[in-house]
Structure 1
Amino acid sequence: MQVAFVSFETAHHRDTETNQRFQTILELFAERGHDVHCYCADFWAGEETTVERDGITYHAVSSGLEARSSFLLRLPFLLATASPDVIHANARPPEQVPAARLGAALARAPLVAEWYGDGGVDDTRWTRLATGRPDRIVAPSELVGTWVRERGADGDIVETVPNPIDCDRIRDVEPGEDVDVIYARRLDEGANLESLLLALAELRDRDWSATVVGDGPERDRYEQLARDLRIEDRVTFAGSLPLEERIAAYRGAHVFAQTAAHCVFPTEMLWALAAGCVGIVEYHANASAHELVEGWDRGFRTTSEDDLAEAILAAGDLEHREYDDRFDDYDRSSVADRYLDVYRTVQKEQGLL
């Protein structure tokens, strides 16, 4: 299948959650041998209009990120010339979705829009225009799907497809040291690590150990809070770790605690749950982590530090695992299949299959 991906800005320009999600989709299809093209602003040196990297052909629609207007004007005609089977557009910025819609009409191809929602879904004219143009909208969670519907999208065209993980990779990593509770996230203003530290402080008369994985501008403040709560000798701040070391840590840990106040999809938590951790989620209106543990006997939803402390105690009665096949459906191959199902469905609806 030939798929034309549209993303003015890519992960090669800027490393953001939205760009990484979109890059992952390109890689999933390239790995499977599909004909993958990405129409973007150029990010490479030299005057070539196309470059190929890891099975993905990148097309320079504009010269750099300063030429957004040029990108939007040229995009429809480049898509029409390419005649792809499906066009898949990043919805950030939303202006590129109507431009991709015109290209899809010229190419007689269905349009899928990817709405990751990192940073929210702004209520602007361009957003409302973008939500009404695709044949399907894909979101990483029900939370983001709700945001998109609130901006005018038809609920019947919104599909939820999660971020993928590599289950074979988890099984291949040796478990790390035993730890009772682990937390992993960038330590910024949205981390809300204080909820977990306060809950652990309520259990200071119990025997437990905790590890915090991640770095960021709030790390010093959180380390000081651990000292103020007199639990610093039982909480290890491990800093940023590569994926292999994080997986090892998750396979050795018993509980993964997710307390972030904003999260469109809890990818680190998913790695940890598949690696056998019990999941404890503090519910927040702008976070989707609770969706992973709903209806699961190894998952807990909490709303306060007291609830969180009680859940940590209750989790101690559950068996320790180093892998959980309940999450096999989140493997890269399964997520790629879900995208293929979306593509084939919109092709059938337009009489193209």
Structure 2
Amino acid sequence: MQVAFVSFETVHHRDTETNQRFRTVLEILAERGHDVHCYCAGFWAGEESTFEQNDITYHAVSTGLEARTSFYLRLPFVLAAANPDVIHAAAQPAGQVIAARWGSTLARAPLVVEWYGDGGIDETRWTRLATGRPDLIVTPSELVGTWVREHGADGDIVDPVPNPIDCDLTRDVGPGEAVDVIYARRLDDGANLESMLLALAELRDRDWSASVIGDGKERETYERLASDLRIDDRVTFLGELSLEERIAAYRGAHVFAQTAERCVFPTEMLWALAAGCVGIVEYHANSSAHELVEGWNRGFRTTSEAELGEAILAAGDLEHREYDDRFADYDRSAVADRYLESYRALQEDHGIL
């Protein structure tokens, strides 16, 4: 299948969660042998109009990010000439969705829009116009699906598809040091690590150990808080780790605590749950993390530091695992199948198949 992806800005321009998610979708389809093309602003050196990397062909529709209007004007005709089976566009900027809609009309191909929602969804006229253009809108969670519907999207075309993980890699990496509680996230204003530290401080008369993975501008603040709470001898700040190092840490840990105030999809938590961790989520209105543990007997949803501490104690009664096959549906191959099934259904609806 030939899929034309549209993203004015890519992870090569700016490394954001949204751009990382979009690249992942390209990669998992390219891994399955599909013909994957990305129409974007040029980011490579030289005058060539295309650039190939990891079985993905990038096409420079404009010369750079400063040429947004040119990108919008040229895109419909570039897509029509490419004649793809499906067009799959990133939601932001909203203008590219409208341009991609014109391209899909000319190419007679269905339009899918990837709406990740990292950083929120702008309340603009262009956003509302964009929600009405696709044949399908893919979001990472029910939370973002709700946001998109609130901005005018038809709920029948919104489909939550999670970020994928690699289950084979999870099984292959050996377990790291045993630890009772682990946390992983960028340590910034939204980390809310204090919830976990305060909960652990209430359990200082118990025997436990904890690790924190991640770095950021608030790391020193959190280290001082652990010291002030007199638990710094049992909380280890590990800093940034590679994916394999993080998986090893998760396989050695018993509980993964998710307390961040904003999270469109808890990717690190998913890696940890697949690696056998019990999941404890502190509920927040702008976080989708609770969606991963609802209805699961190894998951806890809490609303306060006191409940978080109680959940950590209760989790101690559950067996330690180093892998959980419950999360096989989140594997890269399974998520790729979700996209391919959606593409084929849209093609049937358009009378293409």
Normalising by the smaller structure, the TM-score range is over 0.9
1:25-104 alignment, distance < 5 Å: 25-104=25-104
Greater mean alpha carbon deviation, residues 120-129 or residues 234-243:
120-129
Cα displacement (A) at 1:196: 0.3
Amino acid aligned to 1:333: S
**For the residues of structure 1 that align with 2:242 and 2:254, how far apart are their CA atoms?**
20
Structure 1 residue 123 displacement after superposition: 1.1
- Structure 2 CA distance for aligned equivalents of residues 346 and 132 of structure 1: 16
Shift, 1:74, TM fit: 0.4
Instruction: Specify the alignment match of 2:259 in structure 1.
Output: 259
- Report the counterpart of residue 227 of structure 1 in structure 2: 227
CA distance in 1 between partners of 2:223 and 2:342 (Å): 45
Q: Does 1:197 align with 2:204?
A: no
Asked whether 1:287 is paired with 2:300, we answer: no
Residue by residue, what CA displacement relative to the aligned partner does 1:302-341 show, whole Å, maximum 9, x if unpaired? 0000000000000000000000000000000000000001
Q: CA deviation at 1:345?
A: 1.1
State the distance in 2 between where 1:54 and 1:270 align: 25
State the distance in 1 between where 2:304 and 2:238 align.
Answer: 25
Partners of 2:42 and 2:324 in 1: CA distance: 41
Please name the residue that 1:244 is paired with.
Answer: 244
Aligned equivalents of 2:348, 2:204: Cα separation in 1: 59
Identity of aligned residues (%): 81
1:216 aligns with 2:216: yes
The DSSP-based 3-state class of the residue aligned with 1:339 is helix
Q: How many residues align?
A: 353
Give the match for residue 4 of structure 1.
Answer: 4
For residues 96-141 of structure 1, the C-alpha deviation after alignment (integer angstroms, 9 at most, x for no partner) is 1010000000000000000000011111111100000000000000
Residue 318 (structure 1) aligns with: 318
Deviation at 1:54, TM superposition (A): 1.2
**By how many angstroms is 1:52 displaced?**
1.1
Matched to 1:191, the amino acid is A
**Which residue does 1:301 correspond to in 2?**
301
Normalising by structure 2, we get a TM-score of 1.00
Aligned equivalents of 1:199, 1:123: Cα separation in 2: 37
SS of corresponding position for 2:280: strand
SS of equivalent to 1:257: strand
**Matched residue SS, 1:47:** coil
Q: Separation in 1 of the partners of 2:327 and 2:209?
A: 26
C-alpha distance in structure 2 between counterparts of 1:221 and 1:177, whole Å? 25
- Counterpart of 1:165? 165
TM-score computed with the length of structure 1 as normaliser: 1.00
- Secondary structure class of the residue paired with 2:351: coil
For structure 1, list consecutive stretches of 5 or more residues without a partner in the other structure: none
Question: Partner of 1:28: helix, strand, or coil?
Answer: helix
Indicate the SS of the match to 1:48: coil
Taking the TM superposition and a 5 Å limit, the aligned residue runs for 1:312-351 are 312-351=312-351
Counterpart for residue 143 of structure 1? 143
SS of residue matched to 2:48: coil
Q: Report what 1:111 is aligned to.
A: 111
Aligned to 1:174: 174
Task: Give structure 1 regions of 4+ aligned residues with deviation exceeding 6 angstroms.
Answer: none
Aligned mates of 1:315, 1:29 — CA distance in 2: 38
Report the Cα distance in structure 2 between the residues aligned to 1:281 and 1:265, rounded to whole angstroms: 13
- AA partner of residue 67 (structure 2): A
Task: Give secondary structure in 1 for the equivalent of 2:15.
Answer: coil
1:53 CA displacement? 1.0
Q: Distance in 1 between matches of 2:235 and 2:51?
A: 47
Q: Which residues of structure 2 form unaligned runs of 5+?
A: none
How far 1:67 sits from its partner (Å)?
A: 0.6
**Which residue identity lines up with residue 58 of structure 1 in the other structure?**
Y
3-state DSSP class of the match of 2:345? helix
How much is the aligned-residue C-alpha RMSD, in angstroms? 0.4
Partners in 1 of 2:146 and 2:348 — Cα distance?
Answer: 26
Residues 219-262 of structure 1, C-alpha deviations (whole Å, 9 max, x = no match): 00000000010000000000000000000000000000000000
| Cα distance between partner residues in 2 of 1:96 and 1:350 | 22
Instruction: State how far apart, in whole Å, the 2-side matches of 1:259 and 1:220 are.
Output: 18
**1:19 equivalenced with 2:19 (yes/no):** yes
* Mapped partners of 2:54, 2:270: distance in 1: 26
Q: Secondary structure at the match of 1:95?
A: helix
* 2:270 is aligned with 1:270: yes
Q: Secondary structure at the match of 2:94?
A: coil
How much has 1:69 moved relative to structure 2? 0.5
Give the counterpart letter for 1:15 in structure 2.
Answer: D
Distance between the aligned counterparts of 1:122 and 1:14, measured in 2? Answer: 19
